[in-house]
Structure formats: C-alpha cells, structure tokens
Amino acid sequence: MDKILVHGGATLKGTVRISGSKNSALPILAATLLTNDPCIVHRVPDLSDIHYMLTILSHLGCDVERASGTVQVKAAQLRTEAPYEIVRKMRASVCVLGPLLGREKEATVSLPGGCVIGDRPIDLHLKGFEALGAAVRVQGGNVKVLAPRLKGALIDMRGKYGSTVLGTDNVMMAAVLAEGMTVIDGAAEEPEVVDLANFLIKMGAKIEGAGTSRIIIEGVKELHGAEHTVIPDRIEAGTFLVAGAIAGEEIILQKVNPQHLLSVTVPLQKAGYVVETNGETLKLRRNGGSLPLELETEPYPGFPTDMQAQMCALLATSPGTSRVTEHIFPQRFMHIAELKRMGADIELENATAVIRGVGQLSGAPVMASDLRASAALVLAGLRAEGITEINRVYHIDRGYESIDEKLNLLGANIERVKA
C-alpha cells in the first residue's frame, strides 16, 4: 500500500491541466448499458474508481476498450447482477441500477462501499424506481429491482440534506426508456447531472430541464450509440485553486469551466486572492494576507461539500477565526483530527468547524479517511514545516489523476513510497 510524503515549504507556480470529471464519467459510463450500440466517451480520467466501473461493465457482459483517456463500450448482451466482490469498493457502482432497470427491466446489485463520511443511503434512488413501477427488495446486502414495464411518474427527489446527484442520475437513466412522461422534482442541479443528460440526449433520449430542480423526461422505445466528451472536474480544479492559495505565488488552471467553479472562486476572492478568467483558463495569485471566511456547504450552485476539507486546510493557516458548516454530510469532519495533529486549532461545534488560524503547521504522520480528506492533508502538508506522511492514499487515487505528479510540476516536493 502506498503512502505520500509531502516535504513542506515549497512554493507553487506554473500551469496545470485539469482532468475530466470523475462524477460525470461514472454515470455516463453506466449509461452505455442503455443501448446495444457502441458508445465512445472521451476525457475519461485515469482513476481507480473508473477502473472499478469498467470492471463492473465487463462483468455485466460489455465489451470495453480503453486507450489514452477514451473508452469504448458495447453492451450487446447483458447480465443483470453485480455481486459484492465487484461493487464493494465504490459507492457510485449503484448507478448501474437505473440503466439495467430501464433496458432489462430488472437488476440485482450489492449495496456499495466507498468513503467513510457518514450515512449516504440510497433510499431516494429506490423511491424513484418504485414510482416508475418497479418492485424493490433489499435482502442479504443486495438491492433487487424488477418491473415488467416502467411507466412515467411524478417523482420528488428531495432528501433530508437536499437533492441527491446519483439518485437523480439513476432515476433519469431508468426513466428515459419508461412509457410516457416522467417529472423529477427536487432534482440535483449539478453540472455533472447536466453532462449525463446531454449524453443521454445524444443517445436519443428526450430530456428537458437538466440543471434545474425540475427535469422532464419523455420516454422513448430505444436508444442508440453516441460519442461524448466529459466535462472538466470542478472538484479537482477547486483543489488546485486551494493548493495555489495555500502555497502558491501564481498558478494557472487549463481546461476548466469557470462557471462551474464560482462557488469556490468567489470565497477565495473574499479571502483576499485574485482570480482571473480567460476562456477555459483560470489564474490565481496572492494579494497580500489571507482573510478568514464563513462557509456553509450546500447543493450546487452553493459551496460544495467535496471542497469542505480542502478549504479547512487553507483556513487552518489563515489569520482570524473561520467557520465552516457542513449541511450535506454532517459527519464529514474526520480530517479535523488529522489537521489538529499537524498543529491546527480547530474545534467542532455540532456540524460547524471553528477554525482559528495558526501561523505554521508541522509535518506529522496522518491517516486519510476519505477521498477529499486525503486531498486536504496533502494541501496542509504543502504549508507544514517538515515532512507530512499520509497513509491510506488509495483514497486519493479514487478521485485525483496523478495529484502528486501534477503538484510536483508546480514546484511541490512530494514522494510516493511503498508503506
């Protein structure tokens, strides 16, 4: 098992190219199950989560070819069962339920794994399938869905902590082959949902309203193959922006969608950083000292929960007192204890982290608990004195394509070694 050693004190400067979005690519790859025609997907990032998804597709009977960021999938003959040993490492594996139900009218998928960041139930996914006419049974750690026919319905996808991105994706993929009209109220508005909808439309689906809280789907009898390029990964881009804020003079991000990043760039500007936009390029540079912030995670277009840990790392060395409240996954603060090991002054008050900025962090052995927490620890290590040893870095490989190599190209001093 690898670990990462971050030698603190380096100054970041230069240009980094942002990869395709993991959270778009996974459901888009799952959507290839909806047709027996070949589908081609470009800008697919080289991540362990992507590898797991392609393994699942192969297990389900797909012919899968992958080369240089392009994946071709042909799902001619399908199995409808994905057992635990196939799906256990990735929560997003649940998104094969929707397309399998839509095309084959049945599916059995083991309850998935993934990051340990609190309760992330799939009850809204199943509620949506039931509204479309499917019988749903959860037994022995498996989810079984069965529907001789799917019929359009009015479905409310609002949950306790807001809308669900994967749930919206899953129901949308099932509904495109249902009879009649489906209306998803309380739909997730994230760019990744729009990206999936655009791919489905290229396949022949009839979808309106993606990117709003109401998506209207007119079912069609069948879909055909399509070719699509995945949108840039806004969370990877946001992570590199925060890296530049923590340890940079000036960094430039290429191949991004600045509109998708406003929820990150606006707070960074409030904290005193200069952010400049030019087409698909973002530039961040320092403008004096950093200021404290008050942030609350919210569904898109609000501040993303997937950037909460990284921003905590930045605010840990920003003068003054900052507050970060987590509304999406209230238990998503496992990185706080590790940042405190590095000298951060952070206290939890229910779902709010009260962060009193310190002048300097110190390198220490720390443990990554989830994908974004591991990124936050890498960023904190950039600003720490000495060496930060980050264990369980398999988490970071789930969502960041060669993050250590990209940071080193900007001037960081990071080693990946065998534990």
| Active site positions, annotated | 115
Q: How far apart are CA 249 and CA 276, in angstroms?
A: 14
- Torsion sign across C-alpha atoms 266, 270, 275, 277: positive
Q: How far apart are CA 298 and CA 327, in angstroms?
A: 6
Strands (E) in 133-180, as ranges, are 135-139, 142-146, 154-156, 158-159, 162-163
Write the single-letter amino acid at 172. Answer: M
Q: Given the structure tokens 């083991």, which residue do they identify?
A: 110
- Output the six-digit token pair for 412: 């960081």
Give the ranges where 298-400 is alpha helix by DSSP (H). Answer: 308-315, 334-341, 371-383, 394-397
DSSP assignment of 223-242, as one string? ----EEEPPB-HHHHHHHHH
Q: How far apart are CA 364 and CA 398, in angstroms?
A: 23
Q: How far apart are CA 255 and CA 98, in angstroms?
A: 31
Q: How far apart are CA 371 and CA 376, in angstroms?
A: 9
How many Cβ atoms sit within 10 Å of the Cβ of residue 255?
A: 15
Q: How far apart are CA 370 and CA 338, in angstroms?
A: 12
Contact 382, 406 (CB under 8 A): no
List Cβ neighbours of 24 (8 Å cut-off, separation of 6 or more): 191, 192, 195, 196, 230, 231, 233
Cα within 13 Å of Cα(299), Cβ side: 20
Q: What is the dihedral of CA 308, 309, 313, 315, to 10 degrees?
A: 20
Q: Look at phi and psi of residue 162 and say left if phi exceeds 0, alpha if psi is from -120 to 50, else beta.
A: left
How many Cβ atoms sit within 10 Å of the Cβ of residue 95?
A: 30
Q: How far apart are CA 143 and CA 356, in angstroms?
A: 45
